[in-house]
Chains A and B, each alone.
Chain A
Amino acid sequence: MFQLLVAGLTVGSSYALVALGIHIVLRATRIVNFAQGEFTIIGGLLALTLVQLFHANSWFALAGATIAGFVLGLIFERLVLRPAARSGEMAVTIATLGTVFILLYGHALIPGWGSLPQPLPAFSGDAADAIALGSVSVQVQSLWVLGLLFAALAALYVFFERTYFGKAIRAAANNPTGAKLVGIDVTTARAVSVGLSIALAAYGGTIIGPITLVGGAGGTAIAIKGFVGAIVGGLESPAGCVAGGLLVGVTEKLIQGLPGVSYGLSDPIVYSLLLVGLLLRPQGLFGLPSAVRD
């Protein structure tokens, strides 16, 4: 049970980071990025390249992948989101789906990445290393994942609450017109928000990589679970997004742990549960906004 819980929190960490990324972009641009999960995959692959080509250690790879994610996010915002936004909400949704295709099929074309998932070295020791916590053994990497998740959250908190630039981004998201009037560059604030969001996705893909492997076609599922986490927790609340993402991970692992449930059935069950939950409580588990709003 405890083992499943830890496993759930571990995969849930990547969903939480995706949920948070979706939240940041949604707040700043009113856009839901369906490609968020694919960027998680790309982030893990970038880290893999850094490790393979430059024999970088895990920390260097993590920093590199995160920074590369930020740059990718800026490019994505400029070349995809901003032009499509002129044609309306449905157009942007479709453009992010086009991006899913580009990343999903495109990453297989890049030398060294391919279409099959590959292992990424663990942050310390070997990926299989475990330590005993009471009667259960826990993968060391799981502890790294949880620790690094909360490190990222703390950094984001400081950025948005304590720095001038973070506050400006929040102001631009809350009230673009008002922000413009007081001299905030709303266009830049939006671009930086998308950059941050993709950086978070890449960060998540790198820290979870040693456990789940990197690459492959699982990005859409990660995006959906992240989004589901965000809705469950309440799209307007960053803490809710993180909690929701973790909850989705735990639910998934608990279902997989049920007797008689095959591994492959857990996803449909998670989705069905959440679709039903959404219908019954469109405002999310933790209250605030409604999923019916647009």
Chain B
Amino acid sequence: MSARLRADTRTLPVLALIVVAFGVLAAGNPTLAQAGTYAAIFALAAIGLSLLMGNVNQISLGQAGFFGIGAYAVAALTTAWNLPPWLSWPLAALIGIVTATLVGLGLGFIALRFRGHYLAMATLTFGLICAGIFHEAKFLGGAIGIEDIPYPRFGALTISGYPAYWFAWILALATALLTLNLLRGRSGRAFEAIRNDELAAEVLGVPTRRYKILGFAYAGALAGLGGAVYAAFLGIVVPDAIGVQLSISLLLMVVLGGSGGVSGALIGAALIGFLDITGHQFENTREVVYGLLVILVVSAAPGGAFGLIRARLGAAPRAPQPALPATRSVTRTIPAPAGGAPLAVSHLTTRFGGLVAVNDVSFELTRGTLTALIGPNGAGKTTLFNAISGIGNLSEGRVTIAGIDVTGWQPHRVAALGVGRTFQNARLFGEMTVLENVVAGAFRTERTSFGADLFALPSARHAERAAGDRARHTLARLGLEPLASTLAKDLAFGDRRRVELARATASDPWLLLVDEPAAGLNAGERAALTTDLLSLRDAGMTLLLIEHDMRLVMSISDRVMVLKFGTLIADGAADTVRDDPAVVAAYLGTAN
């Protein structure tokens, strides 16, 4: 669990206490109770947006659209139905939330196509389309909206006025709790990995597209829930209240409070919800102040109010980790793939425009061997790795892994077969600790569902513990335990490479692609690396290694392949390849 998430977990009970205290104080004061209720309604939507922005690193300027879907579902259905009041609101709200979730899935799918400003613009356009529909649809009351929405009633309790404060806050706090569960679970680890480095997450087996869509759906569902409570509380829904301004307001709440997790969203929503009601006579001035505040916050305190609070609290105490025996010598046996060579590449060609980076390359690896792929700079080695692991498209040819044709697969599917890889420039998750990086590496070994995460079911807790143990074992095996709680961005260069190797092997892949692991390492680190690589091979792993250090290559490789201008020019045992005249010519040039 990251430091940010720990602080969030510790803050939530404090915020809950404040909510209760405020509720008691507001008992005789309808204005305060109303302001508090608004805050809870906004909080529901803001929690979803906070997760989307701060955890998944996506932006949405269309959240009012989802809010409107929830609000209009309740407004239109409860006024049309003739159901008992205890059933009417929950059923209508459920329909609204499900609709918002489905629309969220759709928006998430569209959002995959856009990044940065374009994503902001596309989601803003979505919000404008929704606003237009709400304004024009006759069955939604057109510009006038829908009035006389019945209050939800449970037995003798009518949810309006003061009771609505408690009703809305129970929902908001429960949602915050579930969201924290989600973020602490496997889904949260996936989000965190995506936020740090999408491509690295993908090659660890995280289906990044699916999780991004999930983020949009979750944010949509919560905004829909907020809207459903809003309609019931207000008793009236008008389209002008659910326009672009609401979308931007929600964004401002998340930014002012601090995006990511739940506490910032609750703080931001409480602030704006409160000012919206109590500052009625300062209309317009109030919004100008919001605008100024938000510019100030993004410029001077990007973590928002919760970021400032967290900085003041200092680092949260960390739960002691169970000590592990010195297990450097312990290696697990690697499960063998079913059928076929671990990796077979046939007639693989990759072109970038007119440039042929990899030209008709074919080879097959033998199980449990270490093969080195060498060649001058620009020979196409990394391009070949990318084609194998599903990054970028290959132009022609086939890649078969353990007998399965993976040509054109997305990287996370290739990874899920049991394929690990490292990058030439060690793409660690910089904002995460070494242990968290390696836990993320164990992602594909975890078996738990979204629902289990959300409700923190025993299976989710078990999966988290198992991934943690696995990661600590991996660190122990590579002798990296002392670094476990260091942030990856603070690591020394050589350690970065070793941590990346630990991360790539945490899930016990049986095929490992290693891109220049020795580059920039000193002699001692190279020796350790050699030991690590050989022990992986001896445990049954098949390794393909890109490396420029010839001494290392010649001493550990069972086989050496040489690539030059995209073409394989030599392939065989280390000694044979070293003396091959074509290889000598490629590296040293010929006399004439």
- Does any Cβ of B come within 8 Å of A293's Cβ? yes
Q: Which of chain A's residues have a CB closer than 8 A to the CB of B298? A: 84, 87, 91-92, 94-95, 98
Known: A105-B288, A109-B284. A89 touches B117 (CB 8 A): yes
Interface contact B248-A268, CB-CB below 8 Å: no
**CB within 8 Å for A268 and B294 given contacts A32-B121, A100-B248:** no
The smallest C-beta distance from A268 to any residue of chain B, in angstroms, reads: 3
Binding stretch for chain A, among B128-136, B364-372, B561-569: B128-136
Asked whether, in the complex, the Cβ of B251 is within 8 Å of the Cβ of A105, the reply is: no
Residues from chain B with Cβ under 8 Å of A265 in the complex: 132, 136
Interface size class of A (residues with CB under 8 A): 35 or more
* B59 proximal to A (CB < 8 A): yes
Which residues of A from 32 to 74 have beta carbons under 8 Å from B? 32, 34
Contact B120 A34 (CB under 8 A): yes
**Cβ of B442: which chain A residues have Cβ within 8 Å of it?**
none
Q: Please state if A98 and B132 are interface contacts (CB–CB under 8 Å).
A: no
Q: Please measure, in the bound complex, the distance between the C-alpha atom of A65 and the C-alpha atom of B350, giving whole angstroms.
A: 55
Known: A99-B291, A100-B248, A102-B291. A109 touches B285 (CB 8 A): yes
- CB proximity to B under 8 Å, residues A73-124: 79-80, 83-84, 86-95, 97-102, 104-106, 108-109, 115
A264-B291 contact, Cβ under 8 Å, with A275-B122, A278-B122, A294-B117: no
**Contact residues in B for A100 (Cβ distance below 8 Å):** 248, 291
Asked whether any CB of chain B lies closer than 8 Å to the CB of A279, the reply is yes
Chain A: minimal CB distance from B486 (Å): 24
Closest to A89 in B: B116
Known: A97-B294, A224-B121, A291-B118. A267 touches B132 (CB 8 A): yes
Question: Which residue from B53, B113, B132, B248 sits with its C-beta under 8 Å from A271?
Answer: B132
Nearest B-chain residue to A91, judged by Cβ: B298
Contact with B along A253-267 (1 / 0, CB 8 A): 000000000101101
Please tell me if the beta carbons of B135 and A264 are within 8 angstroms of each other in the complex: yes
The verdict on A220 contacting chain B, using a C-beta distance below 8 Å, is yes
Q: Cβ of A275 and Cβ of B292 under 8 Å apart?
A: no
Q: Is A221 an interface residue (CB 8 A)?
A: yes
**Nearest CB of chain A from residue B517's CB, rounded to whole Å:** 30
Nearest CB to that of B294 among chain A residues?
A: A98
Tier of interface size on chain B: 35 or more
A86, B299: Cβ atoms closer than 8 Å: yes
Q: Report chain A residues within 8 Å CB of B248.
A: 97, 100-101
- In the complex, B287 has a CB within 8 A of chain A: yes
Question: A100-B248, A224-B124, A268-B128 in contact; A91/B299 too (CB < 8 A)?
Answer: yes
Whether A262 contacts B136 by the Cβ 8 Å rule is yes
A239: B residues at CB distance < 8 A: none
Q: Mark B119-145, 1 if CB is under 8 A from A, else 0.
A: 011101110110111011000000100
Q: Is A272 located at the chain interface by the 8 A CB criterion?
A: yes
Kindly identify, within residues 279 to 313 of chain B, every residue whose CB is under 8 Å from any CB belonging to chain A. 283-288, 290-295, 298-300, 302
A109 with B288, Cβ < 8 A, contacts A91-B299, A99-B295 known? yes
Q: How far is the CA of A104 from the CA of B244 in the complex (A)?
A: 12
- Report the bound CA distance from A268 to B126 in whole Å: 9
Does A98 lie within 8 Å of B287, measured CB to CB?
A: no
Say which residue of A86, A87, A95, A275 sits within 8 Å of B125 (CB atoms). Answer: A275
Q: How far is the CA of A109 from the CA of B281 in the complex (A)?
A: 13
Does B110 have its Cβ within 8 Å of any Cβ on chain A?
A: yes
Q: Of A87, A101, A272, which is within 8 A of B288 by CB?
A: A101
Q: Which residues of B contact A32 (CB under 8 A)?
A: 117, 120-121
Scan B238-251; emit 1 where CB is below 8 A from any A CB, else 0: 00000011001001
Pair B284/A105 contact, Cβ less than 8 Å: yes
Q: Which of B61, B114, B129 contacts A292 (CB 8 A)?
A: B114
Nearest CB to that of A267 among chain B residues?
B132
| A143 interfacial by beta-carbon distance below 8 Å | no
Contacts of A221 in B (CB 8 A): 128
Given A89-B116, A97-B61, A262-B136, A272-B295 contact (CB < 8 Å): no
Residues of B with C-beta under 8 A to A106: 284, 287-288, 291
Q: Among A95, A98, A264, A279, which residue has the most Cβ atoms of chain B within 10 A?
A: A98
What is the CA–CA distance of A101 and B292 in the complex, to the nearest angstrom?
9
Question: Quick one: closest A residue to B112, CB to CB?
Answer: A292
Kindly list chain B residues whose C-beta atoms are within 8 Å of the C-beta of A227. Answer: 121
| Whole-angstrom distance between the Cβ of A248 and the nearest chain B Cβ | 12
Q: Residues of A contacting B61 with CB < 8 Å?
A: 97
Residues of A within 8 A of B129 (CB): 268, 271-272, 275
* CB-based contact B302/A87 at 8 Å: yes
Question: Which residues of chain A from 171 to 215 have any CB-CB distance to chain B below 8 Å in the complex?
Answer: none
Give the chain B neighbours of A108 by CB distance below 8 A. Answer: 284
Which A-chain residue is minimally distant from B259 (CB atoms)? A90
Nearest-neighbor residue (CB-CB) of B283 within chain A: A105
Known: A80-B295, A97-B61, A224-B121. Is A264-B136 also a contact (CB below 8 A)? yes
- Shortest CB-to-CB span from B147 to chain A, Å, is 20
In the complex, which residue of chain B has the Cβ closest to the Cβ of A82? B299
Q: Which of B114, B118, B287 has the most CB of A within 10 A?
A: B118
> Chain A CB within 10 Å — which of B59, B292, B298, B302 has the most?
B298
Residues of A within 8 A of B (CB): 31-32, 34, 79-80, 83-84, 86-95, 97-102, 104-106, 108-109, 115, 220-221, 224, 227-228, 231, 262, 264-265, 267-268, 271-272, 274-275, 278-279, 282, 291-294
- 8 pairs of A and B residues whose beta carbons are closest in the complex: A268-B132, A101-B291, A105-B287, A83-B299, A102-B291, A32-B117, A98-B294, A294-B116
A sample of 21 cross-chain residue pairs with beta-carbon separation below 8 angstroms, ordered by A number, consists of: A90-B59, A91-B302, A97-B248, A97-B251, A99-B295, A101-B291, A102-B292, A104-B245, A105-B288, A108-B284, A220-B244, A227-B121, A265-B132, A268-B128, A271-B128, A275-B122, A275-B125, A282-B113, A291-B118, A293-B115, A294-B118
